[in-house]
Amino acid sequence: MPSQSPDERKAALRAGAKGARGRERPGAAEAALARLLELEPLAAAGVAAFYAAIGDEVPVEAAAAACRARGAVVVYPVVVGPELALAPDPAKAERIDVALVDVFVVPGLLFDRSGRRLGRGGGHYDRLLARRRRDAVRVGICYADRVVAELPEDPWDVPMDWLVTDQFTLRPAR
């Protein structure tokens, strides 16, 4: 049997991850958010990009609110054609330059311990993160059961600098 291409492996992993939704995780979101808020890069960020959780993603609005309360500017991704733009509120037309963001909090269907991320397959986050400032920090967040041994990687995939879950925080070595 021929080996699968990275795209075929990613499609199979995506299907499995989407099929595993809805697990009970008492206190898991709160534990992940507590770990996220302990990260020094987020605590120091003047501008932080969050997301509106969908499906089985960790809901991060409480962390975004905590950043806002300490005076940080919080922005969210907005789909504009094949790209993501950033805005203080997804419903507003105002856009924020990606180069202003200090920390990106990024969801994923799966992550691995090397900082690789498997998203929903549109490449939106990879294209957004490719436009970031070099010193901007990328933080992947998910539940611990969404971390796998290894994910396939394509040349355009943008790895995470940190991985936060309900059970651990990891800074992948590069």
Residue 111 lies in a domain: yes
**What average pLDDT does this structure show over 98-126?**
94
Number of domains in the chain: 1
- For 53-90, the pLDDT digits (tens) are 998 899 999 999 999 999 999 999 998 888 899 999 87
pTM of full prediction above 0.85? yes
CA–CA–CA angle 45, 173, 136 (5° rounding): 25
Question: pLDDT at position 10, please?
Answer: 78
pLDDT-derived band at 174, boundaries 50, 70, 90: low
Residue 63 lies in a domain: yes
Mean predicted lDDT score pLDDT of the chain: 90
Residue 25 lies in a domain: no
Residue 13 lies in a domain: yes
Output 94 or 106, whichever has higher pLDDT.
Answer: 106
Residue 26 lies in a domain: no
Q: Give the three-state DSSP class for 106.
A: strand
**Residue ranges making up the domain that contains 132:** 6-20+31-170
| Dihedral angle, C-alpha 105, 39, 56, 112, nearest 10 ° | 90
Residue 77 lies in a domain: yes
Residue 80 lies in a domain: yes
Q: What is the CATH number of the domain that holds 163?
A: 3.40.50.10420
**What is the per-residue burial (b if ≥16 Cβ within 10 Å, else e) of 68-97?**
eeeebbbbbbbeeeeebbbbeeeeeeeebe
Residue type (1 letter), 59: P
Residue 108 lies in a domain: yes
Specify the range with the lowest mean pLDDT, choosing from 9-13, 21-25, 31-35, 91-95. 21-25
